[in-house]
Structure 1
């Protein structure tokens, strides 16, 4: 059986090949299809926040009301916290309050209460405008709120047994909290 001549010249056959910088010996070169770094670059160490985020986005199957639902772990945890807070768990309620406060301060939109209607979305009719104007006039003049039984709420209570008169009762101003 005869040997076929090698297509790749060896160092013995080509005396004109000079080994040096950028010219490795032909025998130690990478073979075609062989990688110089078979293990690849080592993976970067992952932060705890990134690992937690990835785990919270993992989808699991939850059986609810006799049906299997696919939810992320984030959704499952948030449902459990809200359910515990609704059952009266004060720790869960505080955690939920702090979480929504933190989200609001970070600029993340926190949805309002479920069925609440925002006051800005309600139309203001002429009756509402008249009430607002009358209330604004009362505030400007410094008068008290009208009492449904006796007229104005600013009234003197009378005098006590020694003859000292009581002060005028005024409701607190809307700006004092």
Structure 2
């Protein structure tokens, strides 16, 4: 039988003597404050400047841009793998920009396109229905 003094314990309420004190962590050796995750480290590395020799002149660009310039250079020299990777990146960019363009239409233009799409689908449904009727008649 539970005592009246233990009334505050139960499911989701551990006994008072086992609870963490205010300010005490449940994971004292956990991830230190201020430590960076992989995404933050990657962004930092990609934005770090490096010196690149471009056309006989030295200039400083980000690591990301330097990697793209190197990939372009290899692709132009005939490296098939580099060319394939470079073209796939270019295709991904063109698909992304096409999607942005398609979704950035004004509401009036979107309404016109939606009405046209409904008309085309209705015509297609009517044509399919008439073809079925002709097949059923024969």
TM range, smaller chain: 0.3 to 0.5
TM-score using structure 2 length: 0.41
TM-score using structure 1 length: 0.33
Rg comparison, structure with higher value: 1
Q: Return the structure number with greater relative CO, CA threshold 8 A, min gap 6.
A: 2
